[in-house]
Every structure is written in C-alpha cells, then in structure tokens.
Amino acid sequence: MQKISIDISKTGSFIAPGDVKKLEGDVLACEQKLHDGTGAGNDFLGWLNLPSSITATELKSIKDTAARLSANSEIVVVVGIGGSYLGARAVIDALNDSFDFLRTNRKAPVVLYAGQNIGEDYTYELLDLLKDKTFSVVVISKSGTTTEPAIAFRVLKELLEKKHDTAGVKERIVAITDESKGALRTLADREGYQTYVIPDNVGGRFSVLTPVGLLPIAVAGFDIDKLVEGARDMEKATAPGASFDENPTNIYAAVRNLLYRSGKTTEILVNYHPKLHFLAEWWKQLYGESEGKEHKGIFPAAVDFTTDLHSMGQWIQEGERNIFETVISIENPKYKVQVPNDKDDLDKLNYIAGKRVDEVNKMAELGTLVAHVDGGVPNIRISVPELNEYFLGQLIYFFEKACGISGYVLGVNPFDQPGVEAYKSNMFALLGKPGFEKETEAIRKKL
C-alpha cells in the first residue's frame, strides 16, 4: 500500500537524543487506552473504527441521494458550522477545479455553504443568488437549535417554500441529524425530509467519514468509495501492534508533545498547495477543540505558502521562538506547466525556463525548511503522494487518530469541548432568550 509518510529529522536539534524513544511507552499506553475505551471521553470513539465499518450499502445510499440532489439543482447549499461543514469543505476544496464556479461544463452542482457565520450581508447575497437558481439544501445539525445553522436553514427553507410546492420542498431538503431527538429531527419527521443520522458516539470534528462529510463530498462529484478506502487502509496501518517507529500517528503524537514540553507552544500547519487551505481550517478545529483545555494545549495556526511567506515569513523566521511547523507536502501535482523562455529575459527568469512550476515550488519549500530550521523553528514533514480522494482519506484518519493519542499524552479529554458553551450563554442572554434573564443583567454590568 502506498501511503503518506512522516519525516521528523528536522526536529532532532530541538529534542534531546533518545527522547522520542523514551516517550514510546507513554504513547503506546495512550494508543491502547484509545482502543480499549478506558480513557476520558470514551463514549465518543465511534470514529476510531468507522472506516472499516462503513458498508457498501451505506455508501450506495449516500451516492444515490447525491445523484438525486444533483439532478434537481444547480447549487447545493450545505448548512452547518464547525465539524458539520469543515471536513466536507476541506475535501471538496482540495479536489475541486480552482475555477469550477466559472466553468459552464460542470458535471456536478456548485456546493455553497451557509450557517457557518452570522453575516447578514453574506446571507442576503446568498439568498439573492439563489432566488434565480435551482437549489437544494443539506442541513447538518444534531440538535437543530445551534444559532448559526438554524438561522440559515430557516431563511433557506422559506425561500424554497416560495419557489416550490410541499412535494418540491421535500425533494430538495436532506437533514443530517440525531436519530431520535431534537428540533431538526422533529421537523424532518413531520415534513418527510430524507434523513441521515449523526452517530451519537462521533463528535462533530471527527465526523468527516459519516454522512456529515460523505454526502456533500458525493454531491460535489467526488469518489467517496476511494476516500473511505484510504481511511480504511490508514486504520489498518495504525492499528495496535504496528511498530512504533513505523506508525505515523504515534510518531506525530510523540514529537509534537515533546516540542510542546520544550516550549514550542504553537504549531503552524503549512501547505504549499493553495487547495489545502480548508484542510488546515478543519485541522485547526480538530486540534484546537481537542487539546485546548485545562490551560493546556498547543495553539494550532496555519499558513498557505508561498503566499504567506510574503506576509508571515518574517515573523516565522525571526519572531518569538515558541513555534514549530508541520508541513503537508504534495509529491506529485495533477497537471504540468513549464516556465517558458523569453527572448528579452527582462524578469531574469530564463535560468528556470523549461522547469515545471512545481519544481520551483518544491525548491521554495526546501529552501524555506532550511531557513526556518536554521532560525530555530523545528519542522515535521508529512508527504502525500498525490492530492486525490484516496490519500485525503488517509490524511484525515491519520490526523484524527494522532489527535486522540496526542490529547491523552497531553493529559486532557480530547473528545469534549466545555469551553465552547461560554460565549453561547452570553449571546443568548444578550439576545433576550427566555430563561436567561438573570444572566442578561449580570453580563450587561460587565460591558
């Protein structure tokens, strides 16, 4: 099996010799705790063996639904926030033609997003676009009451009801929600929407390989069978019993914790491929929500190189030395473009004439790696053979499993997010939500 690989050789001068080996026992114990279900948050481990448990029947149902929505729609709007949309968007943006939205020969509908913000201008502009388009909605919410997606779904549902009769609306809405309870489940059952279930034992940020991620990805025209196959192969490759030195999830969890203990409290996820921007956004939520608690945790940040070298490069090179980088490197791009020769050579680029653009990019990557390591920034490199469904499936499962292990090594519950609720209570109180009257008075005194 060809698979992603990890290179930690550029962290050696920042970690004491033998420290990775010394941490092996702790990492393996945390990995076993994950598989035994004896650690904190063990009621949210449904993602761990999810790739190998997904059936062909389940995948066929998702693909059939995607085909139906595609046949009815120029645009499919995915309504969700956090893990309810970031995983799908990460995969779709990574695989999409960068200029697909301008092409007239698309084979799949355009996938747009709503409910990931409370921007009034964004909402207006989306509705203004959709009023003259055929569109469907995939609404994703376990409760159906999360503010951002609930607002978005309410206004989109109203627009659909103005454009179609009851049967037409029903045909154009799919709800992904709780199996038996919650506002969205109640509405879906009453109106007869097709539904898929968000498993109780899979948290939102780990839900890419459930219908939460798989349905939007299939709607966008991508091969969810290959995505699941890649994740399944990574599940096998990182199963208990695999050699510590050959298990990338264990190595990544060990090294990032060792760097954290040495004072490297910020991890910057770096890519040299512009299509990976939203993969980094998904990764930021995965690690930020999983590890940022009890006043602990590596702060997850991300940059798109070489673009951000012209804005953040100076700080990374010479700013505070509390950072390390994890670089996702795509070995083989999909297309080939060569730098042409120019007879006048006014830009002095003829020295690279005939070279592929990717070769220039790779030399920028290697040159930056050396500069940053020399400048005091440790570097972990994750090599991905190609940017396709299969290797994205591997990468997703790799990050998920490494996150669970890493959180346990850190000493926190990687599967809860108690701090997320604080802002919500304040917002509800300020908006005058019934039941929050006491909180309203207390909060206003603080403003």
d(CA 44, CA 27): 20
CB 253 within 8 A of CB 247: no
d(CA 228, CA 235): 10
Cis preceding-peptide flag for 238 (omega within 30 of 0): no
295: annotated active-site residue: no
156: part of which helix (H) or strand (E)? helix 147-163
Q: Is 113 left (phi over 0), alpha (psi -120 to 50) or beta?
A: beta
Selected catalytic residue, list 289, 291, 365, 389: 289
CA atoms 307, 313, 314, 320: torsion sign: positive
310: annotated active-site residue: yes
CB 151 within 8 A of CB 114: no
Nearest-10 Cα torsion for 438, 441, 443, 444: 170
DSSP class of residue 339 equals P
Provide the residue count of the chain.
447
293: annotated active-site residue: no
Selected catalytic residue, list 60, 131, 133, 424: 424
**Distance from the first to the final alpha carbon of the chain:** 58
Phi then psi dihedrals of residue 182, to 5 deg: 105, 160
CB 160 within 8 A of CB 172: yes
CB 78 within 8 A of CB 85: yes
Selected catalytic residue, list 107, 162, 295, 310: 310
Which residues are part of the catalytic machinery? Answer: 289, 310, 424
